Amino acid sequence: MGYVAVTAGEEVITRAEQLFEKQRVDGDSAELGIDQVDEQLGRLTAQAMSESGLYAPRLAGLAVKQAQGDTIEAAFLLRAYRSTLERYDETVTVDPGEMIASRRVSPAFKDVPGGQILGATKDYTQRLLDFALEGGETSDPTAEWDVDDAGEPDRLTNVTELLREEDLLHEPDKTDSEEPTDTTRKSVTHPPARDAVLQELARGETGAITALGYSALRGYGQVHPTLAEVRVGRLPVRITHPYTEEPVTVTHTEVTESEAVVPVYEKRDDPQFAFGYGLTFGRNERKAIGMTVLDASIQLDSEAEPAENAEFVLDTIDGMDSFGFIEHLKLPHYVTFQSILDRIRSIRERQGVSAEGAADTGSTHQPAAEVSDDD
């Protein structure tokens, strides 16, 4: 039938899937292993885990491979899988202060307790294409390093603790409930509790978090924070042992954490810095810092700027939501478009405009008709 714009059955869907899969295997190169994705493209898997809210490096590697490198699609695969899993237990609340940090930067002070740990970063290298990577074997450039084993690392004192001792930092509102909010089990309603805001930000799309965080710095907001801590490291996952009822560490997750002080005085009579927080799975400093800016901005609770409006931020940062709705525009819309055509034709008839062009109605400029459809 020629008049149905998109006519198909299951066979066509299957064939489209097969064509997509063919794109991955069409070249002459060797098949990409999950381990290769996990080890060599760690930023992709970290982003997929962060945006899906599921810490599972191997599954993330699989998702990235299956999605052919599309991180939102990979995060989507992980979320859909996550939603089918039984919840066996909840973890014991972890203190991020016990993080075994592989990287720690504190721009607020020249020197901080525990020192700055530059760690693995590309921050200060020159962005030049390295043609040596193009082919052949690359070796471990740290192989010749002579490193002393200094034993277990000390707990790093958090820079914000120094400020808290001096009472310079405003404590964000505590949530009333002991039970943490879970926005995957209870949809967000406004105004949201802060833990719901943090959960949504932690699962937000990296690009969206970066863009909205940037908007606040760019002038569409008041938050220009000083970072007290940016850390990358491993945090333990602990559950209560069912028999001994003691907490047991079952695994570790790699996270990026960021804390900021914001020179927006919370109270006139007792000036204190505002505080922003960011934490996300995997190594993603850009997202953690963007989240910090947005957390601090949202606490200002203003409708004046996009980043300070919790509703605006939470409505737009979720990658699954935005990706799905943006791409749904590819679905057929001929029913609604027929309805829109009816409206514009009716209005043109009323105004005496024919298909040949505008009639002389005396008015020089008609505003563009905004026919409502928005589906």
Binding site for other proteins (CB under 8 A): 1-10, 12-13, 76, 79-80, 82-86, 88, 184-191, 311-312, 315, 320-321, 323-328, 331-336, 338-343, 346-347, 350-351, 367, 369-375
Cβ 7 to other proteins shortest distance, Å:
5
By C-beta, is 8 or 168 nearer to other proteins? 8
By C-beta, is 9 or 141 nearer to other proteins? 9
> d(Cα 96, Cα 235) in Å, to the nearest integer?
7
Residue 278: beta bridge partners? 258
Which residues, at least 6 apart from 184, have a Cβ–Cβ distance to it below 8 Å? 53, 83
By C-beta, is 80 or 248 nearer to other proteins? 80
Please tell me what DSSP assigns to residue 183. T
Cβ 65 to other proteins shortest distance, Å:
15
> d(Cα 314, Cα 80) in Å, to the nearest integer?
20
Cβ 268 to other proteins shortest distance, Å:
27
Cβ 134 to other proteins shortest distance, Å:
36
Q: Which of 201, 221, 219 is nearest to 292 (CA)?
A: 201
By C-beta, is 265 or 325 nearer to other proteins? 325
Cβ atoms 311, 197 nearer than 8 A: no
Which residues, at least 6 apart from 281, have a Cβ–Cβ distance to it below 8 Å? 46, 49, 50, 53, 55, 202, 253, 254, 255
Cβ 132 to other proteins shortest distance, Å:
38
By C-beta, is 218 or 343 nearer to other proteins? 343
Q: Please report which helix (H) or strand (E) contains residue 209, including its range.
A: helix 206-218
By C-beta, is 168 or 347 nearer to other proteins? 347
Cβ 11 to other proteins shortest distance, Å:
9
Inter-axis angle of helices 57-66 and 42-52, to 10 degrees? 100
Cβ 322 to other proteins shortest distance, Å:
9
By C-beta, is 8 or 304 nearer to other proteins? 8
Cβ 86 to other proteins shortest distance, Å:
5
By C-beta, is 19 or 341 nearer to other proteins? 341
Q: Which two tokens stand for residue 315?
A: 């409505």
Cβ atoms 307, 294 nearer than 8 A: yes
If you write DSSP's letter for every residue of 321-366 in order, what string do you get? HHHHHHHHTTS--HHHHHHHHHHHHHHHHHTT-BTTB----S-S-P
Give phi and psi for 252, each to the nearest 5. -125, 155
Cβ 315 to other proteins shortest distance, Å:
8
> d(Cα 8, Cα 26) in Å, to the nearest integer?
25
By C-beta, is 1 or 129 nearer to other proteins? 1
If you write DSSP's letter for every residue of 62-97 in order, what string do you get? HHHHHTTT-HHHHHHHHHHHHTTSPP---PPPP-GG
